[in-house]
Chains A and B, each alone.
Chain A
Amino acid sequence: MAIDKRFIGREYGPFSYTLGAEKMREFALALGGAHPAAGTPGEPPAHVSPLLHDAQAAKAGPYGDLIAFPSFAVVFAIRPFGAAVSDPELGINLLMLVHGEQELEFLDVMRPGDVMTTTGRISEIYEKAGMEFVVVTSESRNQRGDVVVKGTWTAVVRG
C-alpha cells in the first residue's frame, strides 16, 4: 500500500529536550564500548575522549565543560522522524521499517543544561525498487535560538 504523497510537508514538533550531564556521559560510554553495570562500570575505554566523560578534564579543555558526543543529538533530534513514521495516518508497519540513510550536521557543540527545541517535516515520499522511502528533515535550536543540529532521516519500508 503506497504511502500517500499528500503527507509531504506535514510538520511535527516542536519537541523540547534538556541535556543532562549523566545522560550525555552514559551515551558516550555506551557507544564507546564501556560496560554500564551499576556500581562497577569500570574504566572508560582509552579511546573515549575525556571531554565526553571527565568533567574536570573537560572544564579545563577547549569548551569549558563536558560536551555531548556528536550523535547524542539523535536522542532528541529523532523525535519528528519517530512521530512521522508512527503517524497512524501514514499507516507504516514499523516491523517492515528500516533506517536507510542518515545525515547530521553539527553547527556547535552541546553542553549540559542546553535546552534543544526540535521541529521537523516530511520532505519526501517516493518509491524505488519496490520499496517506499519517507524522508524527514529536522532542525534543533538551543536556548539562544541558534541552530545546532540539522538532520535528514530516511526510512525505507520493505515491501
Chain B
Amino acid sequence: MARTFQVGDTFTHVRECDRYRPIYYAGASGDFNPIHIDPEVGQAAGLGGVILQGLCTLGWAVEAVGIFVGDPGRIRRVKVRFSRPVRLEDTVTFQGRVTALEGHRLVTEVTATNQRGEAVLKGAVVEASIG
C-alpha cells in the first residue's frame, strides 16, 4: 500500500505533560537533572518550578512525524530550538507541514505551542525517508 505525500500536507499531534511525565522521562532517559524533578531546585534556578526535559519535547515532535509517515524507523533528522519550557499540566500541540520532497526524503516543519499559544519549539524541522 503505497502512500503518497505532497508538499503542503499537514498533520497535528497533541501531547500533555502530565504531572509525573518529567519523572517518567527521567527514569527512561537517565536525565535526572533536578530542575526536572524537584520543584524547589526549579524555583531556585529561576524556572518557577520543574520543567519538562527539552529532549522529551523533541521526542514528541519526532513522534508526530513518525505517526504521519507510519513508521518511527523512517525518521532521519530532527533539528529544534527550545524556546520556552514545558511545565506540568501543559498541553503541547504539534502542527506539521510537508515543505519539501527530495527523492525519498520528506521534509517537514513542525510548530509546537502550549495551551496559551506560546511556542515551546522554534524552527523545528523533522525529515523522514519515504523510499
Contacts and interface: CB of A to CB of B under 8 A. Distances in A.
Contacts of B31: 78
B60 A51 contact: no
A111 B28 CA distance: 17
- For chain A, give the interface size range: 35 or more
A106 B74 CA distance: 9
Contacts of B44: 95
A63 interface: yes
B63 A101 contact: no
A98 B27 CA distance: 20
B24 A102 contact: no
Interface in B40-74: 41, 44-46, 54-56, 58-60, 62-63, 66-67, 71-73
B82 A98 contact: yes
Interface stretch (A66-74, A113-121, A139-147): A66-74
B6 to A, nearest CB: 23
Contacts of A90: none
Nearest to A98: B82
Interface of A: 23, 26-27, 29-33, 35-36, 47, 49, 51-52, 62-63, 67, 69-71, 74-75, 78, 94-96, 98-107, 109, 158
